[in-house]
């Protein structure tokens, strides 16, 4: 009888050994599955973020078409096209402090980006008396939103069309809703000739840097804008 009992214990030990050794194997498969899922989520985010950053609101009649600072002359060309199509009677330009202030301190004359945008607009058929440079100086997009909202309020207008680059559109919309939603509507439009490719943004350094900057800027806006622009 004793040999048979010993044999039974041996079989039971073997079962326990198989069960114990299979646990780490299952845990490894679970870990690999979770890692694969996380990698897939990251890849989906990276591949889709370019499209997510680009928004285009439906066009409507507005008080003015605003050329946001940067990417000259693409934004001004788009604004001129919208003006010719009759979406607003005025085109507004913002006035950036740099690099004019630094160059002026060095005794170097600088006309300013807005002066060149004005020339582009006039070249494209916008009359000079329909172009207005908003005087308060700006440093960043948040400043522009504040300046434009103030001008819209003074004009007692209801909406403006904000023209910017494709990759910049979502941040502009978020900033308007955060800073100026109670002062009117903003129709955010991307320059149609902007070469940014949202589905292939990682292929060029300029597009990749734009995406990273815009994503970080949006995170900053969502966080209540704790980071301020360098001066």
Contact at 8 Å (CB) between 104 and 110? yes
Q: Give the containing element (helix H, strand E) for 155.
A: helix 141-155
Q: Which CATH number fits domain 64-194: 3.30.390.50, 3.50.90.10, 1.10.730.10, 3.40.50.620?
A: 3.40.50.620
Residue 107, token pair as written in the block: 């005794």
109 or 31, higher pLDDT: 109
pLDDT tens digits for 138-190? 999 999 999 999 999 999 999 999 999 999 999 999 999 999 999 999 999 99
- Neighbouring CB atoms inside 10 A of 10's CB total 9
Query: Mean pLDDT, the chain, as a whole number?
Result: 86
Q: For residue range 212-225, what is the model confidence (pLDDT) as tens digits?
A: 999 999 999 999 88
Q: What pLDDT, on a 0 to 100 scale, did the predictor assign at position 1?
A: 47
Task: State yes or no: pLDDT of 18 exceeds 70.
Answer: no
What average pLDDT does this structure show over 88-97? Answer: 94
How many other C-beta atoms can be found within 10 angstroms of the C-beta atom of residue 201? 24
Nearest to 133 by CA among 156, 158, 116, 109: 116
Instruction: For residue 169, give the nearest of 201, 194, 147, 135 by alpha carbon.
Output: 194
What per-residue confidence (pLDDT) applies to 101? Answer: 80
pTM: 0.80
**CB-based contacts of 175, cutoff 8 Å, min separation 6:** 141, 142, 145, 221
Q: Is 94 helix (H, G, I), strand (E, B) or coil?
A: strand
Query: Domain residues of the chain, as ranges?
Result: 64-194
């Amino acid at each position: 009888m004793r040999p048979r009992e010993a044999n039974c214990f041996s079989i039971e030990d073997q079962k326990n050994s198989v069960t114990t050794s299979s646990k780490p194997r299952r845990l490894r498969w679970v870990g690999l599955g979770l890692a694969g899922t996380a990698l897939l989520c990251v890849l989906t985010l990276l591949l889709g973020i370019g499209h997510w950053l680009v928004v285009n609101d439906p066009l409507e009649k507005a008080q003015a078409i605003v050329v946001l600072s940067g990417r000259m002359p693409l934004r001004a060309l788009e604004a001129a096209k919208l003006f010719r199509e009759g979406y607003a009677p005025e085109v507004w330009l913002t006035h950036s402090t740099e690099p004019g202030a630094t160059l002026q301190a060095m005794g170097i004359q600088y006309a300013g980006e807005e002066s060149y945008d004005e020339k582009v607009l006039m070249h494209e058929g916008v009359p000079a008396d329909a172009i207005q440079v908003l005087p308060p100086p700006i440093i960043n997009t948040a400043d522009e939103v504040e300046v434009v909202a103030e001008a819209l309020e003074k004009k007692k207008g209801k909406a403006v069309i904000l023209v910017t680059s494709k990759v910049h559109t979502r941040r502009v919309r978020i900033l308007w809703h955060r800073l100026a939603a109670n002062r009117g509507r903003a129709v955010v439009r991307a320059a149609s000739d902007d070469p940014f490719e949202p589905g292939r943004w990682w292929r060029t350094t300029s597009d990749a840097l734009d995406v990273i900057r815009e994503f970080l800027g949006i995170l900053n806006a969502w966080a209540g804008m704790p980071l301020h622009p360098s001066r």
